[in-house]
Structure 1
């Protein structure tokens, strides 16, 4: 399993505002800002990262990106610039998005659901969210949009992950992303089941088997590797892939685990991508440690286990290393 060569991913947060208050939200306004990019800024930043000679994926994010009145125009421009375009939404689809863009202009519309029903999902994401999100998933699919669903695994909902297959099939969804809960933003500060990571035993006993089971039903499933197997080499995406996590205050990170700290490698200033000096996230990318990911060791040390001899029992993979099961087509 390797990172995809010559593929670029630009995660563009066009605002940090949201209509929901999800318990595990990773947005940190102290570090990411609270402003909303205007239409011209979005266009300028899209052009700044455009590279028509490469496969470039643009993912519009928030907060809730559909709250932005110029999202539709930005999607159309991104497609014209040669991007593969995705919007990650909480399901509310403000500003009549489905009436303003076409399935040809938007490659994927991705919805976040953290449970197979309202009883599991809504305590994490908010009252009424499940009903609204699933209704808009159906509406998007009826209009011909390619739809995916994102499920963030926590101790609160891991026992219900296996039930997602039935829901996805009933909705007509054919692409499913399982995410590991990152201790960033709200989840780094809160202490509840909804903001608690599962341990290695829980993850390995559940996620790979459920992913394979859902894939056998015709759904393409992607989930993070998380734990490396014995002898499996560690690779940091900061060294071997091209990912940019862009925030409204102009910060540009290459490692999502660093987003709660002013360690960003780049800053957008005066319309240019400026390389930052001093101690930055890239300073850690080439460090080789027994635990695998250096940033995980520094920021999420509780995910690592040691034996009685003091040696690490397993290595943590780069959080951007994914496993895929099923037919991507």
Structure 2
């Protein structure tokens, strides 16, 4: 374990280490407590894991939470699959609070099992619901017939019950025209924030890549549109830029962007089989960071994703924001699109507020 904690070493005295000012090691923990889900959404990055359907036992989840807290974890998000399908979710939330996680979050598909009723609103920093359209026609095209009419009442009742609520919307060719209308619905319901993400060719998205994918220019046009309408709504708007022209990059640097988040080990995503990733872009790849065992993190000594991040950041020198997305090298080998030469790629884990 001591070897893990010293990865990356230290810089000579007096050198500039801008990354460490903004990112902290193992600060954010993403715990996938189950791979089970009621839905089979066309963009879901979980892919075949949904069919595998593994879940963490309560005891194992507790060990992981304790280990990650020791490593420096302060924020923890429970995900799936659908985390509310796990009967021990309320106990897991309680334990996370007991061992000192500052913020506890849940990501849900909006078909809440009533396990959520056993979690007091004040124990959660927020619950995040997936909503991919402002109408049944659009949302159901992504998530299945009848889902909009189940999800929106669930979001509304959760807000009314006093829970802090946010929305996640994944933008593809299916919903790009309708998605901005979600902001009016969000205002009306009273959610805190909408996070817009760009469709990625991962998991179940691979099969839909030809018809669902956006070009980098289409995604930039979309988030620039969000910037132009943000003052019309009370709800906060966030998005990962992913791509930018060089002029806009300066703005993101001013906001705190310092290149690849993975190079600082700021976050760790842990699946029920113990496989642990720093970068969610690589969830389909064998080059994970480590495996979580009962004894702690066991480093992957074969193809480790961390080598990608450190090499790219080292090459960028004192301008780490120019390191681009190191994971693109892996995506390119698999025939997935990469950044056009007239644009700059940004870490896909970093978000900006519109």
Do both share a fold (TM > 0.5)? yes
C-alpha distance in 2 between matches for 1:191 and 1:257: 15
C-alpha distance in 1 between matches for 2:350 and 2:160: 33
Query: After superposition, where does 1:32-71 map in structure 2 within 5 Å?
Result: 34-51=53-70, 56-71=74-89
Q: CA deviation at 1:271?
A: 3.6
C-alpha distance in 1 between matches for 2:116 and 2:158: 7
TM (normalized to structure 2)? Answer: 0.82
Matching residue of 1:286: 310
TM (normalized to structure 1)? Answer: 0.88
- Asked whether the equivalents of residues 158 and 165 of structure 2 are also in contact (C-alpha less than 8 Å), the reply is yes
Matching residue of 1:86: 105
Q: CA deviation at 1:200?
A: 2.2
Matching residue of 2:225: 209
**SS of 2:246 mapped into structure 1:** coil
Q: CA deviation at 1:106?
A: 1.5
- Asked whether the equivalents of residues 297 and 304 of structure 1 are also in contact (C-alpha less than 8 Å), the reply is no
Deviations 1:86-116 (A, max 9, x none): 110001111x134201111111111001101
Matching residue of 1:229: 245
Matched, 1:277 2:305: no
Q: CA deviation at 1:17?
A: 1.0
Q: CA deviation at 1:199?
A: 1.3
C-alpha distance in 1 between matches for 2:227 and 2:280: 24
C-alpha distance in 1 between matches for 2:295 and 2:147: 37
Of Structure 1 and Structure 2, the greater helix share is in 2
Structure 2: which 5+ runs fail to align?
1-17, 316-321
Change (3 A) 1:173 1:212: farther
Residue 145 (structure 1) aligned to one of 163, 177, 185: 163
Residue 251 (structure 1) aligned to one of 259, 262, 275: 275
- Asked whether the equivalents of residues 193 and 236 of structure 2 are also in contact (C-alpha less than 8 Å), the reply is yes
Q: Superposition RMSD on alpha carbons, in Å?
A: 2.5
**SS of 1:169 mapped into structure 2:** helix
Change (3 A) 1:252 1:57: same
Matching residue of 1:118: 136
- Asked whether the equivalents of residues 31 and 261 of structure 1 are also in contact (C-alpha less than 8 Å), the reply is no
Structure 1: which 5+ runs fail to align?
306-311
- Asked whether the equivalents of residues 284 and 294 of structure 1 are also in contact (C-alpha less than 8 Å), the reply is yes
**SS of 1:177 mapped into structure 2:** strand
C-alpha distance in 1 between matches for 2:290 and 2:231: 38
C-alpha distance in 1 between matches for 2:196 and 2:325: 20
**SS of 2:137 mapped into structure 1:** helix
Matching residue of 2:349: 320
